[in-house]
Structure 1
Amino acid sequence: MHWITIIFIGIAANLDNLGIGLAYGIKRTKIPISSNLTIAVMSMIVTYIAVKAGGIILEYISAHLASLLGSLLLCAIGVWTLLSKRFSKTEFLKNPEQFDEDKNHIISFRESIPLGCILCINCLASGIAIGANGISAIWTVISIGFFSIVCVGIGSHFGALMSKTFIGKYSTAISGWLIIIIGIFEIFA
């Protein structure tokens, strides 16, 4: 089993969650466990669907070719994450309170749904690539969910402290590079 890939994809897909958690922590906006779980479950569902879709590719082409294509897709996603403002959450990091519609400094269950939709974008493309590589859907989903909860929780709890760290400032770039490294690792695995 590709344990290293499963763990690193869980981390890479959720570094933006850490950044969002940090932004809320700085603003002293709380993300209750129910909202954090909602975000994690949304990421898990999207990942599962994407991994299964990627697995369907295996039915039509050889496992070696699908693995190669999946690995190259991971590299492309990493490059796109580094270059594209679409995957950059800077607008949300600068103005995180836009999801706190009632301005009570608590992200409610209802407010966590659109936030979860934004944060699970990374899981979609990565999930397809992971599925094309034939990597376990269940363990990938568990990794995504676990690291989503951890990253949002740590970020919101330690926001003021961690926002000034290397990870807080460069979460999107770190995520992009991790995905590229995973793709390269999977090409030679």
Structure 2
Amino acid sequence: MEILSVILFALAVSVDGFGVGLAYGMRSIRISLVPLLVICVTSALAITISMYFGTLVASLFTPETAGRLGAFILILVGIWIIFEAWSKWKRVNEPDKNTENDPCLMRFKIPGLGIVIQILKEPEEADFDRSGNINTKEALFLGFALAMDALGAGFGAAVAGYQMLLVPIFVGTFKFMLVSGGLWLGRKSCFSSLGITGSLLPGIILIMLGISQI
């Protein structure tokens, strides 16, 4: 049962890679093997770091209390993901008249932070030089961008008692498979996006995992 929970968790925090792969594939942006591995390793590393801090917090409580706290965090992150997905879907389908002419609703003067947030809004912006290829440096930024939403989930999973070794391995593996699959399907024009159901699914999975830990 524990390994199933780890697999479901890793899948939930890796689904965004499929959406990015679709976006890149439809725009004929290529990601070769080395940059793809960089994306996966970077995402796995970010999860490892968040889980490390989660284990530190968990050590302050009894196993029972830590498990319930971790479950509560997973549920909160799941709710937040659902809210964000729903809000984004509404913005796309019901654009605000005051912002529909502004392609970037969030702007920051801190270059590093601004780049990451821009990537989160428009995945194709990771192709900084507009070459049609994601190089290693660009893959590094993209990997961290894809991991940002999963940091809270990784923290909660560690507090709940998930194994810090298994989760990053599964996250990296699923990220590789989903980004690759998205690229292929995007090039074949099989899908245009994940759709609202696909966007809500990660949050639903995290909520279910959290409830199962209570």
TM-score by length of 2: 0.78
Q: Deviation at 1:123?
A: 2.5
Paired with 1:99 and 1:67, the residues of 2 have a C-alpha distance of 37
Paired with 1:74 and 1:137, the residues of 2 have a C-alpha distance of 16
> Within 5 A, what are the aligned runs for 1:66-105?
66-84=66-84, 95-105=122-132
User: Mean alpha-carbon deviation: is it higher for 156-165 or for 19-28?
Assistant: 156-165
Q: Deviation at 1:93?
A: 8.1
User: Mean alpha-carbon deviation: is it higher for 169-178 or for 117-126?
Assistant: 169-178
Contact kept, 8 Å, 1:88 with 1:172, in 2: the verdict is no
Paired with 2:75 and 2:6, the residues of 1 have a C-alpha distance of 15
CA distance 1:139–1:163, change in 2 (3 Å): same
Partner of 2:160: 133
| Pairing 1:169–2:178 present | no
Partner of 1:145: 172
Contact kept, 8 Å, 1:81 with 1:88, in 2: the verdict is no
| Pairing 1:118–2:133 present | no
Tell me the amino acid that sits aligned with residue 174 of structure 2: F
Partner of 2:205: 178
SS of 2:130's partner is coil
User: Mean alpha-carbon deviation: is it higher for 27-36 or for 65-74?
Assistant: 27-36
Q: Deviation at 1:84?
A: 2.7
Tell me the amino acid that sits aligned with residue 136 of structure 1: Q
Tell me the amino acid that sits aligned with residue 80 of structure 1: W
Q: Where does the alignment leave 5 or more consecutive residues of structure 1 unmatched?
A: none
> Within 5 A, what are the aligned runs for 1:41-56?
41-56=41-56
User: Mean alpha-carbon deviation: is it higher for 155-164 or for 43-52?
Assistant: 155-164
Paired with 2:190 and 2:210, the residues of 1 have a C-alpha distance of 28
Contact kept, 8 Å, 1:67 with 1:133, in 2: the verdict is yes
CA RMSD of aligned residues (A): 2.3
Partner of 2:36: 36
Contact kept, 8 Å, 2:23 with 2:124, in 1: the verdict is no
Q: Where does the alignment leave 5 or more consecutive residues of structure 2 unmatched?
A: 93-117
Partner of 1:58: 58
Identity of aligned residues (%): 26
Paired with 1:67 and 1:81, the residues of 2 have a C-alpha distance of 21
Higher helix share: 1
Paired with 1:94 and 1:104, the residues of 2 have a C-alpha distance of 20
Partner of 2:7: 7
1:10-50 CA-to-partner distances (Å, cap 9, x unmatched) read 11001111101100011111111111111111111111111
Partner of 2:16: 16
Which of structures 1 and 2 has the bigger CA Rg? 2
Paired with 1:93 and 1:126, the residues of 2 have a C-alpha distance of 17
1:50-74 CA-to-partner distances (Å, cap 9, x unmatched) read 1121111222111111100101110
